[in-house]
A and B are shown apart, each in its own frame.
Chain A
Amino acid sequence: MSDDIKKGGSFLVEEATPESIFVPENFSSEQLMYAKTARDFIENEVIEKNDEIEEKNFEVSKALMAKAGELGLLMADVPEEYGGMGLDKASSALITESMSGQGSFSVIYGAHVGIATLPIVYYGTEEQKEKYLPGLADGTKIGAYCLTETGAGSDALAARTKAVLSEDGKYYILNGSKQFITNGGLAFSYIVFAKIDGEKFTAFILDRDTEGLKIGPEEHKMGIRGSSTTTVILEDAKVPVENVLGEVGQGHKIAFNVLNIGRFKLGAGSVGANKVCMQSALEYAMERKQFGKPISDFGMIREKLAEMYVRTYAAESAVYRTVGMIDTLALSAETSQAKINSIEEYSIECAIVKVLASEALDFVTDEYVQILGGYGFCSEYAAEKNYRDARINRIFEGTNEVNRLLIPAMLLRKGMKGELPLFQAATALQEELMGIPSFDLDEDLDLLAAEKKIVANLKKICLFVAGVAAQKFGTNLADQQMVLSRLADIAIKAYAAESTLVRALKDAANRGEEGAALPLAVARIYCENAIADCEKYAREALAGIEEGDALATMLAALRRLMRRTPANTLAARETIAAKLIQMERIVY
């Protein structure tokens, strides 16, 4: 691996530098043009059709998808030889971000270009690619992905859908029922997971007109009501053997690897939705007058605007840092197998980004409603719909709970396999914490020096708690979900804080401290919030693991990692709010 290539999960033991991370400020002018086309398309064509989309008028949505296809908006991840553009993941993520604004359509689009198209891109045979990809890339044929079943949601491998080879060996006969299938009602091709002979978990490609494939009724949902969500029923569905996708018995690899991509794309989409909501909230706050002045004059509203901005910036920084790492590694990959592996390498980061961004989206849409007050609660205003549409993001592409479990589990596995020097780092840390404290009180006067130290300490807190938990529970740690969720939260905050901090420093190096005033303010707020939150997570976890003197010793060690003078985050929030209000729009 070259120097530029980072190992997945290595953020916990390595320091990121401004040169080493990809930030949105690095986008090329072509990439920004892709984004503009996507945004213009959503604003002028999709939002225009909002009511028809929400009434589940699928002909309208299909026509919009075909138009998106004409514009090349579905081509990013499909290789050129199959009618796509074969763009890097940074472009793909930016296009996904810019396709936000109409939640139902974003989901139709997201499922199509992601989980419905990518399995064929990465695992399809030459014939399968030639048959399916051109239609998926130009939007004439919409795709769906069928994994979930009644009894197999988060526990996807518990699927009961069964495939049996026909006597003549030409077909698999599939029986079972899939549910919550996005695009179920409008798709042409379905990626279906089933167990051959009830054992070998395998992916298949089914056409809409497959004998024995039936589409159930539409679900009535809290949000994204204009998207199609149905059951897909397989009653002796006859699937030609050449429609087996990937290897027999290897379906889980397809299912999970594709989800990794789905996760960073979901992160990018959430960031896009956040930006739309923030702009609208800002405009409303400046227009709405109470007590004789705009409510944007009031401190609590200003704080909300600032905090929405902080969380969006942090999520955005983490999303594009992750995507940048994937692209760097994928550059060295020749085969589609190697390319999908480059995404798998960063499955920890993909899980982090999914949780971080979907929760930032819930925060932002919630505060958006709150800023609008009673109007925010009325369906006449977009905030109400945005609030409902946001909620699914914490559930699909792996619930946030499943993703939280994956983060420490994957980290520990990498540590155990020796892929990451986590245990060495944890041991060194224990020695440091048990040794004599140094009294070098914040003599580092560099920009954001205190925040750099916070980021370093966040990582140490994560390693420290992980080390204590691993020692105490050994292999039984997997059963300690309440400890694991706290470990995950600390890892998420550490990754997000570092991504934010390094991006802000990179920006300041280009634009100067004054030019990058907002990113610097964001970094101060995010880091201070992160360490305050992590103190709580760590204390709770430690108190749940140890007691008595052992606990007291650990808490003393923890306090050493918490030592700091808190930044003036109220002033930093005011800096952000004042600038946004002065500019009347979301600027960076």
Chain B
Amino acid sequence: MKILVPVRRVPNPDIKVRLKSDGSGVDTEGVNFLVNPFDEYAIEEAVQIVEKSGGEVVLVSIGTADCEETLRAGLALGALRGWLVETSEVLDSAAIADVLAAVYKEESPDLVITGKQSVDTDNNQAAQMLAAKLDLPQACFAFKVELGDGKATVEREIDGGLDVKEITLPAVITADLRLNQPRYAALPQIMKAKRKEVKKVSLGDLGVEAKSATKILGLSQPPARAAGQIVGSVEELVDKLVNDAKVL
């Protein structure tokens, strides 16, 4: 089975996000970049499937040349090879789905697995749009995937409970946190990843325009939370809500 796993390069999510002073973007000074954590679950799932029943895991990342590092990190987790679609433009979810659809057509995989969202923009859209563009079945927020003959049974977490879907392959699945426990990149695998194939292409090579329909106008930090107060009684609380906060 061939599984295509789109992966995104994101700023280390453990680092507090700071904006550039003019609000034009995120300040990346001294920030290290990682494989989007949700995509690590997707890679792990794909690698486990292939380890069990054969096939190959192919990664794809879209962005600047730096994304090669991200791909190598993913290759060190057990993927076989990767695509780097080089562009300096910031693409929105629909444009990303266009690019992924083009790579999909080149590879014709049996399955696409990716993270449910990337932790930088948190849009949670590209995978769904990709499925729509390719007219493929989709199952998002998977916490369990079982493959059968030409189909997949996907257990997914939804608000208020669980939902089980059976979809025919090829299909698009997005990974949630409880899907598996991603492995560490073992050092010999990191060394091997250095020699694995990364195919570099431009948007033009793929024949996609990938024009973003949305534009980010500005970014701002959430306002700082004001200090709370401890009240001694219900009466005092009501009084403060009425007279100080003026919300009652």
- Cβ contacts B1-39/A at 8 Å (1 or 0 each): 000000000000001101000000000011000000000
CB pair A585–B15 under 8 Å, yes or no, is: yes
Contact A37 B187, beta carbon cutoff 8 Å:
yes
| Contact of A71 with B184 in the complex, beta carbons under 8 Å | yes
Chain B neighbourhood of A85, CB < 8 A: 187-188, 191
Given the known interface contacts A29-B72, A33-B73, A588-B30, the answer about A75 and B188 at a Cβ–Cβ threshold of 8 Å is yes
Residue of B nearest to A585 (CB): B15
- With an 8 Å Cβ cutoff, the count of chain B residues facing the other chain is 19
Are A37 and B184 neighbours in the complex by a CB distance under 8 Å? yes
Knowing A33-B76, A583-B30, the reply to whether A41 touches B187 (Cβ < 8 A) is: no
Q: Map CB proximity to B onto A546-588 as digits: 1 under 8 Å, 0 otherwise.
A: 0000000000000000000000000000000000000111011
Pairwise interchain contact B69-A37, C-beta atoms closer than 8 A: no
Most A CB within 10 A of own CB, among B185, B187, B190 = B187
Contact of A41 among B18, B72, B184, B194 (CB under 8 A): B184
Chain A minimum-CB-distance residue to B183: A71
With A29-B69, A33-B76, A583-B30 in contact, do A71 and B186 touch (Cβ < 8 Å)?
yes
Shortest Cβ gap from B15 to chain A (Å): 7
CB neighbours of A583 from chain B (8 A) = 18, 30
Q: Which of B29, B190, B194 contacts A37 (CB 8 A)?
A: B190
- Which residues of B sit under 8 angstroms from A36, Cβ to Cβ? 185
- CB pair A33–B188 under 8 Å, yes or no, is no
Q: Are A71 and B72 in contact (CB under 8 A)?
A: no
Cβ of A515: which chain B residues have Cβ within 8 Å of it?
Answer: 29
Map CB proximity to A onto B179-209 as digits: 1 under 8 Å, 0 otherwise: 0000011111111011000000000000000
Chain B 101-125 per-residue mask, 1 if CB under 8 angstroms from chain A, else 0: 0000000000000000000000000
Contact status B16-A584, CB under 8 Å: yes
A415 within 8 A of B: no
Query: Distance (Å) between the CB of B188 and the closest chain A CB?
Result: 5
* B55 → chain A closest CB, angstroms: 24
Measured CA separation A515–B27 after assembly (Å): 13
Interfacial chain A residues near B188, Cβ < 8 Å: 72, 75, 85
Query: Chain A residues with Cβ under 8 A from B72's Cβ?
Result: 29-30, 33
The 10 closest A-B pairs by CB, nearest first: A72-B187, A587-B30, A33-B190, A71-B186, A72-B186, A29-B69, A72-B188, A37-B184, A37-B185, A71-B184
19 contacts between A and B (CB under 8 A): A30-B72, A30-B191, A33-B72, A33-B185, A33-B190, A37-B185, A37-B186, A37-B190, A71-B184, A71-B186, A72-B187, A72-B190, A73-B187, A75-B187, A76-B187, A583-B30, A585-B16, A587-B30, A588-B30
